[in-house]
A and B are shown apart, each in its own frame.
Chain A
Amino acid sequence: MSWFKRNKEGITTSTEQKKEVPDGMWFKCPSCKATLLTKDLAENRYVCSDCSYHCRIGSEEYFEILFDHNEFTELDANMTSGDPLQFQDTKSYSSRLKDAINKTGLKDALRTAHGKINGQDLVVCCMDFEFIGGSMGSVVGEKIARGIDYSRKHRYPLMIISKSGGARMMESAFSLMQMAKTSAKLALMHDEKIPYISLMTDPTTGGVTASYAMLGDLNIAEPGAMIGFAGPRVIKETIKRDLPKGFQTAETVLETGFLDFIVDRRELKEKISTLIRLFAN
């Protein structure tokens, strides 16, 4: 007999109130259930000190982790999405965009910045899952394209941090063509021999995986990140059997040969900075 009983079954928190990054005093690790001080968690790069679970974080946190003294110049900071198709499902795309902008304080699902990492130049394009599931539409594609052009112009190495549910359906074929656009620019960069590091974080799926995320000179990932092309539910429904343990995790993707290594977020900056040095010298 328990002391407390739930009045209502299941989770009743509405989606809007769910938080990606903990901002209360305490934080409960979703993996090992340890209770941590939010302040400590932030200092530990949002990695659980007990079980090394990597919490989902956004561009703000990654920029802070990577750039020296959190100093960087953001590129194309004000670019927002058009609504070329006037798309309407249960809600109009334009109002979805407005809501996402208000809720997250972001303009779209990716931010680009140039800064120094241990004194070396680096351009970082970082996705934000909070913004419509980190979906790739025209803004994500265009910002990556311009980020690549900026890297090419100055011959700075590029890092793209992926975190995405895939293409943005509300932009239909426009979003599909962003796979082409980003890969076209990477083809140019490839020929000009400027290093590109692709970091895949939880989750990296769909059209994002099938374009820039898998096209790094180095493809790396955070521990436990879900990485795949088709979603696990779709695969399960198609083949009508259970998926193997660890399927589509960074660890499996490393074993099947599609990653160079897995990096703990607490070592991310040092590792990237070492690589840039190795490429440069």
Chain B
Amino acid sequence: MFAVQTTPCMIFLDFEKPIAELYEELKNLQEIQSKGKIDVSASIREMEEKIEEERKKLYSNLTGWQKVQVSRHSERPYSLFYVQQMCSDFVELHGDRNIKDDKAIVGGFASLEGRTVMFIGHQKGINTKMRQYRNFGMANPEGYRKALRLMKMAEKFNKPIVTLIDTPGAFPGIEGEERGQAEAIAKNIREMFRLKVPVICVIIGEGASGGAIGIGIGDKVFMLENTWYTVISPESCSSILWRSWDFKEKAAEQLQLTAEHMHRNGLIDGIIPEPVGGAHNDPHAMAGILKDVLIRELDALSAQTPQERINARIEKFCNMGVVVE
């Protein structure tokens, strides 16, 4: 896939201040250039290279908390963007056939290089209004039940499933509790182990606890480079264990929630690299990278029998944990 050239993201996180300052200088140079009196094109090129270098340097050494910040970047691509970029003929399907359509989880069939795939993913909004509409990517039970309905349909028609995970958590609300948030997540986890078709899960942003694992049981579980996945957000962990909101950086380190840690601890199958500066800095390139991985992995998984996949899936998760006897 040929990446579409995009302009770099101009919304900077606090640790990106050095880059923001360089862009400021670049802007000044460009203004001088536009006036046409002095030729500063060499300086502009130099500055652009300097920015790229600075970005590379910064992003090669992010802390856990900084990765959490990148995973939540407001310009980061979300599920629908990826599906639309990677596939053709995406048809979104709605509703849990029970109570309603949850906007925080989307799903539907799409064609990935000629192969029909069921995509299911959390969806965050791209502006204030849409963020509310999508409930900030926090699903209610009907979202998980919609996901399960679509997974069962994919299984019925022998289509592989790809889930894209990006949630700050399952929504903690009265109605969600009354409609069985816990039951919906529990059932999804159990049923995903029994699916006869290939299942690939990718953490594309935030992987918060039950809300994430509720669509997170797969033959392969990947994390994008600048994402996090664990049992609690660093902020909540700080507030519970340190009894203060001020230890989120420390909590993020202690929780070992980055892709690198998760892979080293044997809890995910692989890390998918992001473009320099994070997925939000070049979303099209990111979609291209993800697409290649999905095609490669789906090819490999399709070579196995359903029973082989199910056995391996169960065995993989059953080996997770550290006990002393």
Question: What residues make up the interface of A, taking CB atoms closer than 8 Å to B?
Answer: 76, 78-85, 87-90, 137-139, 141-142, 145, 167, 169-181, 183-188, 190-191, 206-207, 209-215, 228-231, 234-235, 238-239, 243-244, 247-248, 252, 256-258
B58 at the interface (CB under 8 A from A): no
Task: Give the docked Cα–Cα distance between A81 and B217 (Å).
Answer: 24
- Taking a contact as CB atoms under 8 Å apart, the answer to whether A214 and B324 are in contact is no
| Number of B positions contacting A (CB below 8 A) | 55
User: Which residues on A sit within 8 Å (CB–CB) of B190?
Assistant: 183-184, 186-187, 190, 215
- Taking a contact as CB atoms under 8 Å apart, the answer to whether B182 and A80 are in contact is no
User: Which residues on B sit within 8 Å (CB–CB) of A258?
Assistant: 180, 183
Kindly list the 10 A-B residue pairs having the minimum CB-CB distance in the complex, ordered from nearest: A230-B172, A138-B321, A82-B322, A209-B182, A89-B241, A229-B182, A177-B320, A176-B231, A84-B322, A183-B189
User: Which residues on B sit within 8 Å (CB–CB) of A247?
Assistant: 174, 177
B69 at the interface (CB under 8 A from A): no
B300 at the interface (CB under 8 A from A): no
Task: Give the docked Cα–Cα distance between A88 and B186 (Å).
Answer: 30
Q: Which of B174, B193, B247 contacts A239 (CB 8 A)?
A: B174
User: Which residues on B sit within 8 Å (CB–CB) of A187?
Assistant: 190-191, 193-194, 314
* Interface hub of B174, B241, B251, B325 (most chain A Cβ within 10 A): B174
Task: Give the docked Cα–Cα distance between A4 and B204 (Å).
Answer: 62
- Taking a contact as CB atoms under 8 Å apart, the answer to whether B174 and A174 are in contact is no
User: Which residues on A sit within 8 Å (CB–CB) of B189?
Assistant: 179-180, 183, 210-211
- Taking a contact as CB atoms under 8 Å apart, the answer to whether A79 and B325 are in contact is yes
Task: Give the docked Cα–Cα distance between A173 and B255 (Å).
Answer: 8
- Provide the main secondary structure of the chain B interface: helix
Task: Give the docked Cα–Cα distance between A139 and B313 (Å).
Answer: 21
- Chain B min CB distance to A167 (Å): 5
- Count, A-B residue pairs, CB within 8 A: 195
Nearest opposing residue in chain A for B321, CB measure? A138
Question: In chain B, residues 266-325, which have Cβ atoms closer than 8 Å to a Cβ of chain A?
Answer: 267, 313-314, 317-318, 320-325
Task: Give the docked Cα–Cα distance between A213 and B322 (Å).
Answer: 22
- Taking a contact as CB atoms under 8 Å apart, the answer to whether B177 and A230 are in contact is yes
Question: What residues make up the interface of B, taking CB atoms closer than 8 Å to A?
Answer: 170-174, 176-183, 185-187, 189-191, 193-194, 209-210, 213-214, 216-217, 229-232, 237, 240-242, 247, 250-251, 254-257, 262, 265, 267, 313-314, 317-318, 320-325
Task: Give the docked Cα–Cα distance between A85 and B44 (Å).
Answer: 46
Task: Give the docked Cα–Cα distance between A81 and B178 (Å).
Answer: 34
User: Which residues on A sit within 8 Å (CB–CB) of B251?
Assistant: 89
Task: Give the docked Cα–Cα distance between A243 and B178 (Å).
Answer: 12
A244 and B174 in contact, given A180-B317, A207-B231 (Cβ under 8 angstroms): yes
User: Which residues on A sit within 8 Å (CB–CB) of B256?
Assistant: 85, 172-173
- Taking a contact as CB atoms under 8 Å apart, the answer to whether B323 and A235 are in contact is no
- Chain B min CB distance to A82 (Å): 4
- Taking a contact as CB atoms under 8 Å apart, the answer to whether A214 and B187 are in contact is yes
Q: Identify 16 residue pairs between A and B in the complex whose beta-carbon atoms are under 8 Å apart, listed by A's number.
A: A171-B231, A171-B322, A173-B257, A175-B231, A180-B216, A181-B317, A185-B318, A190-B194, A191-B194, A210-B186, A210-B210, A214-B183, A229-B176, A230-B172, A230-B173, A234-B172
- Taking a contact as CB atoms under 8 Å apart, the answer to whether B318 and A178 are in contact is no
Task: Give the docked Cα–Cα distance between A243 and B172 (Å).
Answer: 12
User: Which residues on A sit within 8 Å (CB–CB) of B171?
Assistant: 238
Q: Which of A79, A179, A256, A257 contacts B323 (CB 8 A)?
A: A79
Nearest opposing residue in chain A for B262, CB measure? A173
- Taking a contact as CB atoms under 8 Å apart, the answer to whether A214 and B186 are in contact is yes
* Interface hub of B190, B209, B216, B241 (most chain A Cβ within 10 A): B190
